Amino acid sequence: MSPERGPVFLARRTYRRRRLADAARLLPVLGGVLFCVPLLWKGGERAPGTAEAMLYVFGLWAVLVAISGVISRHLRAGDSEEDGTSGEEG
């Protein structure tokens, strides 16, 4: 017959950890798409100049670094909770 299935609902902590891992996987894709936005800016009267484009690129880079740091910190904290350790060595 059919094999027994696991529980339909996951624990909240497990669900959130999996969604954070999904976000960590999608962040480079989102970053790549957002880095291509300046390529779509056409040269016109209201088009931003090179300085504004560079500010956009480096600002986006800083935001992506911050977001990935937050995600990795939360994923690492989840690892230490599952292991039963406090995350500090000493």
Q: What is the pLDDT of residues 29-70, one digit of tens each?
A: 999 999 999 888 887 778 888 899 999 999 999 999 999 999
Radius of gyration of the chain (CA): 20
- Are 75 and 23 in contact by the 8 Å Cβ rule? The answer is no
Mean pLDDT of the chain: 83
pTM: 0.70
Instruction: Give percent above pLDDT 70 in the chain.
Output: 78
Cβ contacts of 6-13, under 8 Å, gap ≥ 24: 13/78, 13/81
Burial 38-56 (b: 16+ CB within 10 A, else e): eeeeeeeeeeeeeeeeeeb
Confidence at residue 67, expressed as pLDDT on a 0 to 100 scale:
95
